[in-house]
Structure 1
Amino acid sequence: MTQLNQRDVTYRCGSVELVGYLVTAADLPQPGPAVLLIHDAFGLTRDMRAIADRLARLGTSVFAADVWGDGQTFSSPRDAETMIGTMLQDRSTWLARIDAAAEAASQQPEITGPPVALGYCFGGSSALEYLRTGGRLRGVIAIHPGLDLLAPWGDPTQTDGWLAGASVLLCCGADDPMATASQREQLVQSLSASGVEWELDLYSDTKHAFSSVALESAPPNDVIGYNARSAARAWNATLRLLHEVFPQWTAPDSEPPITT
């Protein structure tokens, strides 16, 4: 198995200390392109770190952000929802913390150039909002993002042209109440108007948070649920987009597509 170099990285946003996680393959030529991983509502958990490790073993550096601060994570959905509500009430702080993570990533000696942001749930919303507000990203991969959290896109003629160079991959469940058909349509129209190259992968019989294995044994409900097939398809799509944006990254050829 590929050996990894792993370390926590402490950085700040205003008065708040944040604790990110940097992981690279031990034999990775340095410096190189990176993925900025933005966690879901529960924070930079063991599951999020495992995603970072998995990508690093495939040949890319990964900087996992800490949006909640002080490395805190949540096990209670109610606590996680409360934190999201706090960020929505203070969107400038929310986006400042994403920007602080991107800046911290850029300062690491293993990393060069703007990253691709990969976000899950709240993290996908965060990545899209950061791109919308001028964050310098090569691309965004948003896995079951909450499109209901996004602010309206402004006049694309007022951007500095950076948006037009970005690629966006949206992986959504067809039955996700947090990413409805009208919300998806509104977003892709805004992306097109801004000159962003986008792809929408829509999975049938799939709800919100479909990649979360922790939900596999959860009682059924109308909002969230694990879907192994959709999770595998989203992962394969993630690898493909990373290979397109970072041509020097050949990982997709070294890992067969996941099937269920």
Structure 2
Amino acid sequence: MTEITTRDITVEHDGEALFGLLVAPAGARSRPGILLVHDAFGLGEDMIAIARRLAGAGYAVFAADVWGERRTPADEAGIGPLIGGMVADRERWIGRIAASRDAAAAQPEIDVDALAGLGYCFGGSSLLEYLRTGGRLRAAAAIHPGLDLVADGWAAARADTEVLVCVGADDPMATAEMRERLHAAMSGAGIDWREELYSGTVHAFTSPKAAHSPNPEVIAYHPRNARRAWDAAIALLSETLPLPHVAAA
């Protein structure tokens, strides 16, 4: 079993402390890295478990704290104002993703030329917005992103990023019209993209917190498609960020 090391990293942005977390194989140096961007519930135990799982596979992971001060809202009453605040000030929103990306790239465990992104829900939307505005990542996987949060206009996007989007066919936050608009925008920007679309699946399908959702037509856990999305994300990472055959001592 791979020994894992963790380190808290504070990123200052717009007068607020963002408490990120580095999770990597012990003794790792300059390894393929992943910028992990949390869902609407913040950088809590679920996201840290994903970071540890990725580190166990050999990646060096920087788990971002977009909400700041490692807030972990418990319900829609806490989540709504946070998302609304970011959407209302996109410069601040994307600035936090960019600052987190730069903090990740500055860590000795991470190879700056082999850095990808993985985002869930709001985190997936965040990565797409970051890329739309010219963000630098080798690859990015957006798992059930809210496409309703992603703005139009991809002229600034870089064509050297590969993108994976995994969405539920019945997700009201990623409708067919929204998906088609995103496809056209990414194709127009020259981005190599792929999509996995899951039938009978709505929003937040990877989140165990959604297992007993009061609104299953909007949010519901789908364990089979959660596994499929994970496998698809790992396939993208393996293809674009091949790991060394021998782990660092």
TM-score, normalised by the number of residues in structure 1: 0.91
Out of 213-222 and 143-152, give the one that drifted further: 213-222
What are the equivalent positions in structure 2 for 1:167-178 lying under 5 Å apart?
167-178=162-173
- Percent of aligned positions that are identical: 50
Q: Does 1:214 align with 2:213?
A: no
Report matched runs for 1:156-175 at 5 Å. Answer: 156=155, 159=156, 163-175=158-170
Change (3 A) 1:194 1:102: same
**How far off is 1:23 after superposition?**
0.5
Partner of 1:145: 145
Which residue of structure 2 aligns with residue 254 of structure 1?
none
Q: Give the gaps of 5 or more residues in structure 2.
A: none
Query: Does residue 46 of the first structure (1) align with residue 41 of the second (2)?
Result: no
| 1:40 maps to amino acid | D
Q: Distance in 1 between matches of 2:119 and 2:77?
A: 20
Deviation string, structure 1 residues 14-35 (Cα, Å, up to 9, x no partner): 211110010111254x111200
Q: 1:250 to 1:86 in 2, by over 3 A?
A: farther
Mapped to 2, the partners of 1:97 and 1:17 lie a distance apart of: 10
**Cα displacement string for residues 93-151 of structure 1 (whole angstroms, at most 9, x for unaligned residues):** 11111111011111111112242111000000000000110111111100000000011
- Counterpart pick for 1:191 among 181, 186, 194: 186
SS in 2 for 1:168: strand
Separation of aligned partners in 2, 1:101 and 1:212: 23
More strand by share: 2
Residue of structure 1 in register with 2:222 after alignment: 227
* Distance of 1:97 and 1:5 partners within structure 2: 24
RMSD: 1.5
Matches within 5 A, 1:29-108: 30-108=29-107
Kept in 2: contact 1:243–1:250 (CA 8 A): no
Q: Deviations over 1:19-71 (max 9, x none)?
A: 0010111254x111200000011110110000000000000000000001111
Please give the alpha-carbon distance, in whole angstroms, between the structure 2 residues aligned to 1:129 and 1:220. 27
Q: Distance in 1 between matches of 2:47 and 2:233?
A: 15
Give 1:215 shift: 1.6
Contact preservation (8 Å) 2:143, 2:165: yes
Q: What are the superposed Cα offsets for residues 221-241 of structure 1, whole Å, 9 maximum, x if unpaired?
A: 210000011100000001100
Q: Which structure would you say has the larger RCO, counting Cα contacts within 8 Å and 6 or more residues apart? A: 2
**Partner secondary structure for residue 109 of structure 2:** coil
- The letter for the 1-side match of 2:226 is A
Give the counterpart letter for 1:181 in structure 2. Answer: A
Give the partner amino acid of 1:32.
R
Amino acid aligned to 2:187? S
- 1:243–1:249 contact (8 Å) kept in structure 2: no
Letter in 2 for 1:69: G
Q: Distance in 1 between matches of 2:25 and 2:209?
A: 27
AA aligned to 2:162 is: S
